[in-house]
Amino acid sequence: MGRFDGMKGLVLGVANDHSIAWAIAKEVLAEGGQIGFSHLPDRPDDARQRNRRRVAQLTDPEPGAKFLMPMDVSDDAQIAAVIDRAKEEFGTLDFVIHSIAFAPLEDLKGETTNCSREGFRVAMETSAYSLLAVGRLVRGILSPDASILTLTYFGGEKVVPGYNIMGVCKATLDACVKYMAFDLGPAGVRVNAVSAGPLRTLAGRGAGVDEMLGLYQHMSPMGRNITHEEVGKAGAWLLSKDSLGITGEILHVDAGYNIMGSPGRLLDLVPKAE
């Protein structure tokens, strides 16, 4: 018997096999869960359907993966179409993973102060408001004790150079988690977030993850970086019935980096003054 036997859910935003959402989904599937997936829509001129193909390579071999659909979170009709498909397939949902974030590269790479008005709107709508949109449209088919999980990052709590406007979006996403937890709490629905340390993901490459890996390794109390599997297990725990009393929380899976108030052991690498 697996922890997710008989449980059904949605995973929104898997990009490829390095996605944190896929690491969590693998844990759920391995323990008996059934999942409907969404992927980023392909461009009309992309005959190879690269976005769909990358995700289908992961989901097609999985008996518990029941469908795969495109979804643009800037379009409520597309979100509703995925949720309607889930209702048709499952009836009710026990969990939802929201793994969606985007900022135009020119706005992400520049100073936060110089972010364009349109870049701010796109980044905030895609990365933060989309959680509210999904929550609003899916709440009618959530089962009692259902769990909604999103993915955030420490750059929403403290300044992380290079994370820039995405840090502002994650700060907003963190607040959305807490207010949604309050709104949906009376129905028994929990809303939480996982804040992972740096991992080599599609989003991580855009945020300069390679530079962060060495910093985290030297500063974190555990003296190492985390793995996809560790985040996957932590995220799956928040989706399971083992965490029924937890909502509105941001669970840091970062080898303890977030607790540090100084460079810690990184100072050991700094030459001592004579």
Tell me the per-residue pLDDT of 15-28, one tens digit each, with 9 for 90 and over. 999 999 999 999 99
118 or 212, higher pLDDT: 118
Mean pLDDT of 138-149: 97
Give the lowest-confidence range in 39-43, 46-50, 229-233. Answer: 46-50
User: Residue 199: helix, strand or coil by DSSP?
Assistant: coil
pLDDT of residue 209: 67
CB atoms within 10 A of CB 261: 5
CATH number for the domain running over 8-267: 3.40.50.720
User: Residue 34: helix, strand or coil by DSSP?
Assistant: strand
What's the rounded Cα separation, in Å, for the pair 176 and 107?
23
Stated pTM of the model: 0.94
Residues 6+ apart with CB under 8 A from 199: 18, 20, 209, 225, 226, 227, 228, 231
Q: Answer whether residue 202 shows pLDDT above 70.
A: no
CB atoms within 10 A of CB 204: 18
Tell me the per-residue pLDDT of 62-118, one tens digit each, with 9 for 90 and over. 999 999 999 999 999 999 999 999 999 999 999 999 999 999 999 999 999 999 999
User: Residue 262: helix, strand or coil by DSSP?
Assistant: coil
- What's the chain's average pLDDT? 94
pLDDT of residue 43: 87
Query: Among all residues, which ones are annotated catalytic?
Result: 153, 163
Confidence of residue 201 (pLDDT cuts 50, 70, 90): low
Mean pLDDT of 176-187: 98
Triad 216, 129, 190: Cα angle to 5°: 75
What's the rounded Cα separation, in Å, for the pair 167 and 201?
17
What's the rounded Cα separation, in Å, for the pair 66 and 87?
12
Nearest to 221 by CA among 266, 159, 156, 271: 266
Q: Answer whether residue 254 shows pLDDT above 70.
A: yes
Mean pLDDT of 137-165: 96
pLDDT of residue 71: 97
135 or 199, higher pLDDT: 135
